[in-house]
Amino acid sequence: MQRDISQRNAPLKYLGFLVDEAFFDNFELFYEFGKELGLQRKDVKLFTFVETRRKIPSLRQNQITNKEFTWRGEIQNQNAQEFLDFPFDVLIGLYNGKHDYLSAMVAQSRAKFKIGFNGADERLYDLLLTVDIQKPELFKSEVKKYLQIFKKID
């Protein structure tokens, strides 16, 4: 599938996060960051990856496990598919290094502009930042700086 980059410079209206739960469990942080960028909560979407689901039933719709990928990288999770089909103005992949499952999701995302971190596959992203993703204030200030440079926010 060829990626449409004609809208790459669109201003930020919808923000998506793909997050490895091994690094983050405070998801409120992402909604607060969206608010700092001038977005309403409904315009910020979050999808997380967890290696294996805990035995405790979860009401969370926005989570995927390694069991929901075929050997060819196809995703068998309707909520994940809807997330990837959504044309986010900016998608931020929050995981370190190469991550087969989250990389497959980033590759399939219809986001207009993709931001990744430290050692992620550069073919998947428009911008790679070298900051410690476990220091939220640091990665937020870097992302904000570049969103201003690219005129996605004022």
109-141 pLDDT, tens digit per residue, is 999 999 999 889 999 999 999 998 888 899 999
Query: pLDDT per residue over 84-115, tens digit each?
Result: 999 999 999 999 888 999 999 999 999 999 99
Q: What would you measure as the largest C-alpha separation in the chain, in angstroms?
A: 44
User: What's the confidence (pLDDT) of residue 84?
Assistant: 96
pTM of the model: 0.91
Amino acid at position 70, single letter: T
**81 pLDDT more than 90:** yes
Question: How confident is residue 5, by pLDDT bands cut at 50, 70 and 90?
Answer: low
Beta strands, E only, the chain:
15-20, 44-50, 63-65, 90-94, 114-117, 127-129
Cα separation, 95 vs 102, in Å, equals: 8
Domains of the chain, earliest start first: 15-149 (3.40.50)
Q: Specify the pairing of strand 63-65 against strand 44-50.
A: parallel
